């Protein structure tokens, strides 16, 4: 098996795919938004419960491939308890890692914690949208306009 | 010297059966000689588009190197040559479809444009509020959306022939849908996501008993099933050149002459006019009435060469070989634990759609791609089919005459790797 496949489908990702964390509807959600990829049918809803500026609780439900599901699951564990601003920063960081030029070294994966496991997605351009779908939905939920985000709108990646 | 294509399929094997020399045919396709991710390319996405033989690639080069000119309007030598070659391609399509007349062959961009032409030209003239249009549950989006647009414009109503769990149309339900309000039927011949071959002759014959015209979506059937539009007795038949070894951007709408004559133009512009003044324009005769603007000359000529190429091998030989290939692939894939084939009609061709337990089709696609194997994953532009089977997506292997049994083995091997990675 090729090494980048091992990199993409590493144990942590397979585990989050099999047993997603924070999966299901959030009862006391203050905001939620849908993320949809019309090209492959991946469809998630991200729920957040805000306490002022803090993401007190977060969950997701829906269906998609292993990459999109694991990414959604890992995202919820990463942003739970963080400030909105921190979550947005993490998204920016995450986004820059999965869309990076693969010929360049990644210098500071450490800030990403377990999300760093998804860095291998950059080797698979067709799958970048899978990894970022839930993040776009979270971003929309935090803006609280709750608009459905499609991966095809404005060519989101 | 290489044997010609004719000698390849006419030689007979030990038991007297025709020998289909795939290894020799593969040499005609330069793209099949390359490696992808370091592995020999196994191209199993033929329902999306076919690969092109060298003769087609050469025809494009030849046209732009020595024949390029605009057609139907110049008196100079090149224009006459380009016009001759372009119209010769129309003649080849006429023969390929066994149409009654060349003027029944309209060049369009592809199946999608052909269907849109009929919906907007025939449909807007003849479909009134409350009239019904019948399609089937296994249509590709391009045989759904043009009719929905037409219904929005006219107040027409779309009716859908349902299918069973094997992916076969329920013909008794079709019978029930036909009524005095039905004004058009548009059905796919071979499903791109299920592989089902529909009983198209029967569908046409029943509609004709009610005096209803029928369009056949031939995007998938054309490369795999020998065709005779007069025998089918369809009123319209649309297909794309790029799925039959031709270039992209060229396709055909066949229509019976009397119907085409009665229809208004689809687009206005050059070539489709007879005379123009600011007060009134009179339209050109068939087929030019429907070919506004400078057409896709180079691709049309190369498309004619592609049809010659396919004809030389022969669609009967192709169908027979592909039948063996799909039968073998079905056995091989079914033997893998967790693989479920979606689309198990008794009459099938060229397509195997499948799911693998809880593993998403996209993950399957990515992993087999790293083995050099190209398959399609997703909803195949047939979202209602996915909804019917309650699944988000499938992986689809679709075959052409240049695929081999060894490539089927390679796919099966790659699917075992998918299972290994997902530990299932």
Contact A71, A135 (CB under 8 A): yes
Question: Do B280 and B148 belong together in one domain?
Answer: yes
Q: Is the pLDDT of residue B216 over 90?
A: yes
Least confident span in B11-20, B211-220, B306-315, B401-410: B11-20
Question: Do B85 and B224 belong together in one domain?
Answer: yes
Q: Among this protein's residues, is B381 annotated catalytic?
A: yes
Nearest to A65 among B363, B370, B420 (CB): B363
- Residue where a domain terminates, one of B311, B333, B354: B311
Q: Is the pLDDT of residue A65 over 90?
A: yes
In a domain, A74, yes or no: yes
In a domain, B151, yes or no: yes
In a domain, B370, yes or no: yes
In a domain, B51, yes or no: no
In a domain, A155, yes or no: no
- Residue where a domain terminates, one of B293, B311, B329: B311
Question: Is the minimum CB–CB distance between B413 and chain A shorter than 8 Å?
Answer: no
Contact A49, A27 (CB under 8 A): no
- Parent domain of A52: 3-150
Per-residue pLDDT reduced to its tens digit, B342-361: 999 999 999 999 999 999 99
Cβ within 8 Å, pair B422-A9 = yes
Question: Do B20 and B137 belong together in one domain?
Answer: no
Cβ within 8 Å, pair A1-B359 = no
Please state the ipTM of this predicted complex.
Answer: 0.86
Q: CA angle, B101 as apex, B96 and B103 as ends, to 5°?
A: 105
Per-residue pLDDT reduced to its tens digit, B40-81: 999 999 999 999 999 999 999 999 999 999 998 878 999 999
Name the residue of chain B whose CA is nearest to A65's CA.
B360
**Does the CA dihedral B82-B84-B90-B96 come out positive or negative?**
negative
From the CA of B353, how many Å to the nearest CA of chain A?
15
CB contacts, 8 Å: B379 with chain A: 40-41
- Residue where a domain terminates, one of B280, B311, B342: B311
Structural domains of chain B, count: 2
* Catalytic residue selected from B151, B234, B245, B381: B381
In a domain, A13, yes or no: yes
Q: Is the pLDDT of residue B388 over 60?
A: yes
In a domain, B352, yes or no: yes
Instruction: Look up the CATH number of the domain holding residue A75.
Output: 3.90.1010.10
Per-residue pLDDT reduced to its tens digit, B225-239: 999 999 999 999 999
Structural domains of chain A, count: 1
- Parent domain of B37: 5-45+314-422
The three-state secondary structure class of B32 is: helix
Question: Do B211 and B301 belong together in one domain?
Answer: yes
Q: Enter the pTM of the model.
A: 0.92
């Amino acid at each position: 098996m090729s090494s980048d496949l091992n990199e993409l489908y590493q144990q942590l990702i397979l585990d989050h795919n099999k047993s997603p964390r924070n999966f299901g509807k959030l009862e006391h959600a203050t905001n939620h938004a849908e993320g949809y990829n019309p090209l492959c049918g991946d469809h998630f809803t991200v729920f957040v419960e805000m306490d002022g500026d803090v993401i007190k609780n977060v969950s997701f439900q829906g269906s998609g491939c292993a990459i999109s599901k694991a990414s959604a699951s890992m995202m919820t564990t990463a942003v739970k308890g963080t400030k909105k601003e921190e979550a947005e920063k993490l998204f920016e960081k995450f986004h820059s890692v999965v869309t990076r030029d693969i010929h360049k070294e990644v210098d500071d994966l450490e800030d990403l914690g377990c999300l760093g496991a998804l860095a291998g997605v950059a080797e698979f351009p067709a799958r970048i949208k899978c990894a970022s779908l839930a993040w776009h939905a979270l971003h929309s939920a935090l803006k609280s306009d709750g608009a459905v985000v499609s991966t095809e709108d404005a060519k989101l990646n | 010297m290489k044997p010609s294509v004719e000698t390849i399929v006419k030689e007979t094997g030990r038991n007297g059966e025709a020998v289909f020399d795939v290894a020799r045919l593969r040499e005609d396709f330069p793209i099949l000689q390359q490696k992808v991710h370091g592995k020999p390319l196994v191209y199993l996405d033929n329902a999306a588009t076919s690969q092109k033989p060298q003769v087609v690639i050469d025809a494009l080069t030849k046209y732009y190197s020595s024949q390029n000119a605009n057609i139907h309007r110049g008196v100079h030598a090149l224009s006459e040559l380009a016009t001759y070659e372009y119209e010769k391609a129309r003649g080849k399509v006429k023969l390929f479809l066994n149409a009654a007349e060349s003027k029944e062959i309209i060049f369009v961009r592809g199946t999608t444009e052909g269907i849109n032409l009929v919906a907007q030209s025939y449909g807007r003239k003849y479909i009134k509020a409350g009239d019904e249009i019948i399609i089937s549950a296994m249509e590709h989006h391009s045989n759904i959306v043009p009719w929905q647009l037409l219904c929005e414009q006219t107040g027409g109503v779309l009716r859908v022939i349902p299918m069973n769990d094997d992916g076969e149309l329920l013909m008794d339900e079709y019978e029930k849908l036909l009524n005095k309000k039905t004004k058009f039927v548009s059905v796919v011949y071979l499903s791109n996501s299920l592989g089902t071959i529909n009983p198209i002759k029967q569908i046409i014959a029943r509609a004709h008993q009610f005096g209803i015209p029928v369009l056949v979506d031939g995007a998938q059937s054309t490369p795999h099933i020998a065709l005779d539009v007069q025998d089918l007795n369809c009123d319209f038949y649309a297909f794309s050149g790029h799925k039959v070894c031709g270039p992209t951007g060229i396709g055909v709408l066949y229509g019976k002459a009397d119907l085409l004559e009665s229809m208004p133009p689809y687009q206005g512009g050059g070539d489709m006019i007879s005379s123009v003044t600011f007060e009134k324009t009179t339209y050109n005769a068939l087929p030019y009435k429907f070919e506004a603007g400078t057409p896709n000359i180079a691709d049309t000529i190369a498309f004619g060469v592609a049809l010659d190429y396919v004809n030389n091998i022969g669609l009967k030989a192709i169908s027979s070989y592909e039948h063996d290939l799909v039968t073998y692939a079905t056995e091989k894939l079914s033997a893998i634990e967790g693989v479920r084939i979606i689309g198990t009609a008794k009459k099938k061709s060229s397509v195997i759609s499948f799911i693998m337990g809880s593993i998403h089709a996209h993950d399957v696609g990515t992993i087999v791609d790293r083995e050099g194997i190209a398959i399609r994953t997703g909803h195949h532009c047939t979202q209602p089919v996915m909804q019917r089977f309650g699944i988000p997506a499938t992986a689809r292997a679709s075959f052409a005459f240049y695929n081999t049994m060894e490539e089927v083995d390679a796919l099966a091997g790659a699917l075992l790797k998918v299972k290994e990675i997902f530990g299932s």
